[in-house]
Structure 1
């Protein structure tokens, strides 16, 4: 699920938080970093369970309406296309998902029933839902496309749901797009012959990515003063006191990768931090960081300070 850019962003945020709080407790902050990374799996389960709970709530409403003393013909014979949607039913019957929801104690919607009611209301008044119920099409592909569009256009874009998730865990703000994209990707690959394979995606691509997170965090934090010396004398046109803290942390992390991560190509490091700077720093940050890193690389190459292994890593 995680890519290395997202790992870098989490490390950047953790180091920034350390600076703001004045914390020097490396193990405590490292624990916070990995807690922040691992909680992404909880977020994934919470987002998937939204769909599960919306279907259950609508099924409950239909059952209650059918039992009313003065039930109408529509109440007695409602359109059940939504609650019988093959994909939504498969989520509800997925033992792997059920086990993980219990394992990670995902009970958010049992404690916040009003959010499910709100999302169900938004669902039912959407043109997407109205057209789906009215359509005579009754295929698995139609069901799958409807759920994917419902999640993408109604659920994932709901501001109140976003606010709830942000309030519940602030570190999820940057994780929500990642999780939503991953779920949609999984959803679109579902086949009718194998509906129950959906589970939590693996957090790290491999053990190397987890080691990378730990190593980059530790090597940056433990060597901040030395890493700062690499760029401080090379910013004659920039007042060090006016360089943003986010920029300085990104520079230290990038330089750390240059000097202490022999298997990461120089171009990859530069491109990653330029992209991160565009999203998380000031408008001028990417220009500033690109200039400093480009000059450093040229100097390192002249003095043979870079120790990159493998083809094409320079």
Structure 2
């Protein structure tokens, strides 16, 4: 949807350009995923550094000599900070995001220290892995993910990251909820795509929608004769074009799955009434296809 919104038509050269943009934006989403995990690692490093400096003061107090190292020893943070595959991925990134913009690590770290979650967590000096895990999940949910300054930072860094952020944060939470004391290896570095077929679907949906936009627009127009074309938002038109493409060009995708998917996207990105409008138009198109025998769906229960 994002790529189609930014595109300028269906010429062959433009299709290649848009395909490249789509794949780059998906790769960029994985960069954001790594950036969020590496932020946790950088916050952990900062806490270790501060603890070391506190203990090495020229005139340390009794509290300085015996600090509460619970956050530093948090088992989930230790797992993240010692995961070799994750550290390699961070190292392989062209730009060390938090090295160049270290002030955002400070922003998050200070936000953590001020938060009641942290104060409650640090009220004791020992915890179980379960306690450490619950704390990091709550910390990410309530302090890191919704941080406005971090949000603005990501917006400035890459144009696609704001749309990617909810997906990435949800993926990170799923990982944190599944983490175990024995988790290692590739646990923190899942693949961007389930398989090549998953990747190819996105590319094919983009190509086939781009190359048939005029035809799909005519079909939408035939079902919206009582509507002024200017009243239909560009996003609504794009979502309906994509849905028609799935109806026509992807026989294995059930009609209901297609419709439900695009209604959910409309609720997120378009106007309050868009999902109802889109549902009505797509329903008319499906009934027309069915009556004319044009709905070519394979497999049971795909209508």
**TM-score bin, normalised by smaller chain:** over 0.9
Map of 1:1-314 to 2, 5 A cutoff?
12-19=1-8, 25-105=14-94, 107-195=96-184, 197-314=186-303
- Alpha-carbon displacement from aligned partner over 1:201-220 (angstroms, at most 9, x marks no partner): 22122222211101110001
Deviations along 1:137-187, whole A, 9 cap, x unmatched? 421111111111111111111111111111111211121111111111111
Q: Please say if residues 80 and 188 of structure 2, whose CA atoms lie closer than 8 Å, have aligned partners that are also in contact.
A: no
Between Structure 1 and Structure 2, how many residues are aligned?
A: 302
User: Separation in 2 of the partners of 1:238 and 1:118?
Assistant: 50
Report the Cα offset of residue 133 of structure 1.
Answer: 1.3
Q: Is the 8 A contact 1:43 1:179 kept in 2?
A: yes
Q: CA RMSD in A?
A: 1.8
Structure 1 distance, partners of 2:84, 2:113, is 28
Deviations 1:5-47 (A, max 9, x none): xxxxxxx111111149x99622112101111011111111110
Question: How far does the alpha carbon of each residue in 1:256-279 deviate from its partner, in whole angstroms, 9 at most, with x for none?
Answer: 111111111111111111111111
> Following TM superposition, by how much is the alpha carbon of 1:91 offset from its aligned partner in structure 2, in angstroms?
1.2
TM-score if structure 1 supplies the norm length? Answer: 0.91
Whole-angstrom distance in 2 between the partners of 1:74 and 1:261: 66
Q: Quick check: 196-205 or 162-171, which moved more?
A: 196-205
Contact 1:42–1:106 (Cα < 8 Å) also in 2: no
Question: CA–CA distance in 2 between the matches of 1:193 and 1:275?
Answer: 37
> Any unmatched runs of 5+ in structure 1?
1-11
Deviation at 1:56, TM superposition (A): 0.8
**Deviation by residue 1:264-300 (Cα, 9 ceiling, x = unmatched):** 1111111111111111112222122111111111111
- Which piece of structure 1 moves more, 239-248 or 82-91? 239-248
Instruction: Give the 3-state SS of the residue equivalent to 1:25 in structure 2.
Output: helix
State whether residues 18 and 24 of structure 1, in contact with CA within 8 Å, keep that contact through their aligned partners in structure 2.
no
In the superposition, the TM-score normalised over structure 2's length comes to 0.94
